[in-house]
Chain A
């Protein structure tokens, strides 16, 4: 068998597995572009979890009660864990953790643009849990069925933990909705600022999304950006009504015929502007990550030196 035929048959085998819903595992043969797409997507997802800790961490010390503080701490700790599951999944594809970090710190890899918006009030913590985690859950539930085994397994674990995040956020907003005029104003203000960025989290329209079609063919994704966005809106309107909060979209309206809500145009200029580094907090986020990475360097080195010393001591004892 010559080389060309060989690759050809490997590809056919790979496609057959995808078609019959057999998961691809780390040591299985896979097309280079499948590997690359996964590394890009999984690492972007991991970076989002890690950078996502920053806007929330901003409020840990100012949480209004102990109950809120322990919940927020636990949530931020979860995000760190989620980042770790995802980095590990990416590493099974042959890229090192160090390389992944460097891609984030140098701006080569992206993370979800939503985390480039600031958390100005306590209501923002509620809005993030409800809307941002809500949108993320839509996407992540779909990804529990993704074709790459380690990614799917990480997603199952993440989805199990994520539901508490959304509930704690919504509970914060319920409290505000039952509060005084100022608290209600805070709630509406958070809604006004987070609604549209949350919708942008699903990415560009299908017609403008460069990677979507191939990802769906490979069953990395099971639903398109626009489908997920619609699912999210349909699920969220009722929850907004319960809070008595106004969704800042005059065009939002139930469409009986479609069985879905119609909604207004997304400001794609803003979306691309933030993606390309000009959001309110892009520079601050990377600066903070760099500070954490560089500040932790001596710890990583010391731990390694300590481990080596201890191993050597053990060896000497045996000898």
Chain B
């Protein structure tokens, strides 16, 4: 028999206005509307959110964790950080 399982959705919650949506977890639902309702019941039972995004897990495209060169180039570029530059203390906070 052809039994289709409810697809998996990734859930993102904005905890309050001014903050970005943050990944909260995942759940199964038949469609996006149901995913939002389930996400409300599962992830905002104690007022943890004011807005919910749901994304089908199969639509997420991720970088490859085995690709060791992916983030390599930024590692040596310490001059991108403010602490790389010497400013005399007399100048004060900059």
Contacts and interface: CB of A to CB of B under 8 A. Distances in A.
A and B form one complex: yes
Interface of A: 25, 27-29, 74, 77-78, 81, 84-85, 88, 91, 96-98, 153-154, 157, 161, 300-301, 303-304, 306-307, 310-311
Interface string B35-50: 0000001100110000
A304 B46 contact: no
Interface in B1-54: 3-6, 8, 25-28, 30-31, 34, 41-42, 45-46
B35 to A, nearest CB: 10
Nearest to B26: A88
> Is chain A's binding surface mostly helix, strand, loop or mixed?
helix
Nearest to A82: B42
Contacts of A161: 45-46
B27 A84 contact: yes
A62 B26 CA distance: 34
A307 B45 contact: no
Interface string B56-94: 000000101110000000000000000000000000000
Interface of B: 3-6, 8, 25-28, 30-31, 34, 41-42, 45-46, 62, 64-66
Contact of B65 (A27, A98, A301): A27
What 10 A-B pairs come out closest when comparing CB atoms? Answer: A307-B31, A307-B30, A303-B30, A88-B26, A27-B65, A304-B30, A81-B42, A28-B65, A304-B4, A88-B25
A157 B43 CA distance: 9
Contacts of B25: 85, 88, 153-154, 157
Given A77-B45, A81-B41, A157-B25, 18 more contacts: A25-B65, A27-B64, A74-B45, A84-B42, A85-B25, A85-B42, A88-B25, A91-B8, A91-B26, A153-B25, A161-B45, A161-B46, A301-B3, A303-B6, A304-B4, A306-B30, A307-B30, A311-B31
B31 to A, nearest CB: 4
Contacts of B8: 91
Contacts of B26: 88, 91
Nearest to A24: B65
Contacts of B64: 27
B34 A307 contact: yes
15 contacts: A25-B65, A27-B65, A85-B42, A88-B25, A88-B26, A88-B27, A98-B5, A154-B25, A161-B46, A300-B30, A303-B6, A303-B30, A304-B6, A307-B31, A310-B31
